[in-house]
Structure 1
Amino acid sequence: MSLTLAEKIIAHACRRDRVSPGQIVTASLDLLMMHDSGGPRRVASRLEQLGAKVWDPEKVVVVSDHFVPATDLESAEILALTRRWAQQAGVRHYDMLGICHVVLQEGGHIKPGMFCIGGDSHSPSGGAYGAFMMGVGATDITGALVTGELWLKVPQTTRINWDGALGDGVSAKDIMLFLCATLGMGNADQVMEYDGSTVRGMSMSERMVLCNMAAELGADTGIVAADATTLAALDAAGQPFSGDIAQWQSDADAPCQAEHHYDAATLAPQIAAPHSPANSRAVTEYEPIHIDQGYIGACTGAKLSDLHMAAEVLKGRKIASNTRLLIAPASVAMTRAAAADGTLEILTEAGAIMLPTGCGACAGMGAGMYADGEVGLSTTARNFKGRMGSSKAQVYLGSPYSVAAGAVKGYICDPRELLAEPA
């Protein structure tokens, strides 16, 4: 019987010929990632009580990103604890130069066919590399650190096919906001496998958005089969893939729970209203809504490609006088690249305020949070009530194109109008 890509990876991790949806299995880990918020400060005392050590420090990546940079003594202590624990545990792959999901990409840590977990709900980002990667809590992370294994129920696969070319001002973020509204956020025990000519033509950064926001769909993870684009990204990261990507493809006749087909050419920019990504609809359905603050940040919306989108809108323009635009690049390397290619100059000339790399306001930490009554438009993946500051704030979600356009106009608007105009 034919297998989906997710089933092939899980079967390989379980050392079985095959697995079936609904089975409870124990899989061996190729990589475990955790960060400063849900990592050592949660698991160190448990490991000490167990008298246990990390099963394989070479397969563990620890990233400080939630409390970076420290804004108070408690944050500083958490960062110090994280660094000390990584050193004492023999974990060489410790980093505080970017958001964890982006650091994994830049380091070439995730490769096709790997079975991985992360101590963060957006760990499905790793699926962009043709791997199976899901987010788990601190209890499962503790057990996995000791045993190198994780038990799981084999999920169903839902295939999501996008074909055609996305229009100007439309991106992977718009695809995911559309899917949140269309498919809902209750897709538990599923893998979202993305395919179609649109997906195959995407950069790795855009594929990461698709997989990252599988979490917003409520799925276990998202995945995109590896291809030449994947291999080129791993080569660029200095971690070439020596395996055969043909091994890590879904069988054409593999059964799945559902299959959906969409035309990318018909998709308009999407905006999610408070307080859920599922409250999404086309920007053309919105009246102008004043924005106090635009925020371009987080693993979903501040990669180099996202900064390029914002710069495309902001070039030669200025932020509205009654609106502020805050930008927190997803990694130090991406900040450096944006400085080298002139992107940062465009952003700052427009009046954007640059923030340090880190999760920041996306997780309700550090600079960029919203006050009572403020209205925001953000590139983050979630706009749950109170997540980005006051529970009385109103946070909308959009792509970097939409956030930049809103900051220029001072209100929610269609970014395609600005892109069509001379700056």
Structure 2
Amino acid sequence: MGLTLTEKVLNRASGRSVSPGEVVEVQVDLVAFHDLTGYHVVEVMEKVGKVRIWDVDKFVLAFDHLAPPPTERAAEIQVGLRKFARSLGVKYFHDVGDGILHQLLLERYALPGQVVMAADSHTTTAGAIGAFAQGLGASDIAAIVITGRTWLTVPEPFRVKLIGKLNPGVYGKDVALHILGEFKAEGLSGKSVEFFVEKPQNFPMDHRATVSNMGTEMGADAAIFIPDEETINYIRNTRGIDVKPITPDSDAKYSDEYNIELNRLEPLIAAPHSVDNVKSIREVEGLDVDYVFIGSCTNGRLSDIEAAARILRRGKAKARCIAIPASRDVFLKALELGYIDVLTRAGCVVTYGTCGPCIGGHFGLVGPGEVAVSTSNRNFIGRMGSKEGRVYLANAAVAAAAALTGKLTDPRSLMS
């Protein structure tokens, strides 16, 4: 019997043949944490008296959640983590402004077939590039930083096939929301979802990153796109290297399979207060919107900024709008292409490389009674500010259309 991609990756990492349901110890290829979780990881290391990194070439630290620090405590934590980085000779340290950790892992570090672990639930984002990627707690990440190893339960492999091509106004976010609508939050718990793209060029890396990012909302242990020519070209174009990725065997056995015909999808939203409260934009069109956030590790990539600019070049935003490209590299490219100018002239407040509003941390929170449209990944009560606020999750075009009109609007009506 053939092997799935998950089985091939974990076989290599564990040094033996693995089966779903087994608890195995694996060698980790890349480990990371950010400012919000890093403090707790280092605290664990200090408590066990082992403040060391097993391999500095396989460790990444990025300041992104509360960057720049909005409070004295946040600044204090970052001072401590800078000292940690200096004392241990950390090579891949990204201070304020470089970018959101998950975006940086995609742009610079993660590779197909790797085991990637980080102290954040949205580490699944690296699955877009073909890595087995999971978010773990501080104690587990501390153990990995010290030893380079961890344990996990081998998940059941679940195959999703993406067929055809998305229509204009429909993006990777809508694929993620469609899956959440079908399987519900946590519905894929205990599974490693392997995405096979029928025509790789029809579903580029930005879309894949969004879907893998929201794998954690689906409950998936991992959300891996089977590497193909899109993967190879992305790595070649961003890093100048060629990779030969591993893929599943043609006779690999999956616990179940699910097909998505991309051309049948339409713009979707997740209504308050759950990621699986999924509706068509047509069902909620016309609702007044106070605040729009375009960005995050879910939808702060170049194609998202382009989609927003395409809508907002039509005029001045009627809802207040904050736009945050996920990294400095994305911001600079968007600046070069004129997207930042468009967003700024439309009235958006623009910065880059911070999680900020997504976690209700800073740079624009939702107020009491306000309706927000966000391209981020969670909309539970109080996530982005006031517990009396309501957050709708959507793709960047839907968000931009809401900013432009001040109402939930089908972006396709503005894309002619």
Determine helix, strand or coil for the equivalent of 2:353.
coil
Pick aligned residue for 1:267 from 265, 268, 273: 265
1:235: how far off? 2.0
Aligned positions of 1:19-418 closer than 5 A? 19-39=18-38, 41-52=39-50, 53-96=52-95, 97-107=98-108, 109-186=109-186, 187-197=188-198, 201-238=202-239, 240-242=241-243, 244-245=244-245, 248-320=246-318, 323-418=319-414
The CA RMSD measured in Å over matched residues stands at 1.3
1:241: how far off? 3.7
Determine helix, strand or coil for the equivalent of 2:269.
strand
* Rounded Cα–Cα distance in structure 2 between residues aligned with 1:236 and 1:346: 26
Q: Specify every segment of 5 or more residues in structure 1 that has no aligned partner in the other structure, as ranges.
A: none
1:289: how far off? 0.7
Query: For the Cα contact (< 8 Å) 1:177–1:272, is it kept in 2?
Result: yes
* Rounded Cα–Cα distance in structure 2 between residues aligned with 1:21 and 1:387: 34
TM score, norm. by length of structure 2: 0.96
* Rounded Cα–Cα distance in structure 2 between residues aligned with 1:396 and 1:331: 24
1:7: how far off? 0.9
1:239: how far off? 5.2
* Rounded Cα–Cα distance in structure 1 between residues aligned with 2:221 and 2:282: 32
Determine helix, strand or coil for the equivalent of 2:219.
coil
Determine helix, strand or coil for the equivalent of 2:415.
helix
Task: Report sequence identity in percent.
Answer: 36
Determine helix, strand or coil for the equivalent of 1:365.
coil
Determine helix, strand or coil for the equivalent of 1:38.
helix
Determine helix, strand or coil for the equivalent of 1:256.
coil
Number of residue pairs aligned between Structure 1 and Structure 2: 412
Query: For the Cα contact (< 8 Å) 1:379–1:400, is it kept in 2?
Result: yes
Query: For the Cα contact (< 8 Å) 1:199–1:207, is it kept in 2?
Result: no
* Rounded Cα–Cα distance in structure 1 between residues aligned with 2:196 and 2:360: 33
Q: Specify every segment of 5 or more residues in structure 2 that has no aligned partner in the other structure, as ranges.
A: none
* Rounded Cα–Cα distance in structure 1 between residues aligned with 2:71 and 2:114: 38
* Rounded Cα–Cα distance in structure 2 between residues aligned with 1:50 and 1:348: 49
* Rounded Cα–Cα distance in structure 2 between residues aligned with 1:232 and 1:371: 43
1:380: how far off? 0.3
* Rounded Cα–Cα distance in structure 1 between residues aligned with 2:196 and 2:279: 23
The Cα offsets for residues 358-399 of structure 1, whole Å up to 9 and x where unpaired, read as 000101111111011110000001111101001110000100
1:198: how far off? 5.4
* Rounded Cα–Cα distance in structure 2 between residues aligned with 1:251 and 1:7: 10
1:25: how far off? 0.3
Match of 2:4 in 1: 4
TM score, norm. by length of structure 1: 0.95
The Cα offsets for residues 192-235 of structure 1, whole Å up to 9 and x where unpaired, read as 11113255522212111111111110111100111222222222
Runs ≥4 residues deviating over 6 A: none
* Rounded Cα–Cα distance in structure 2 between residues aligned with 1:150 and 1:361: 32
1:345: how far off? 1.0
Determine helix, strand or coil for the equivalent of 1:10.
helix
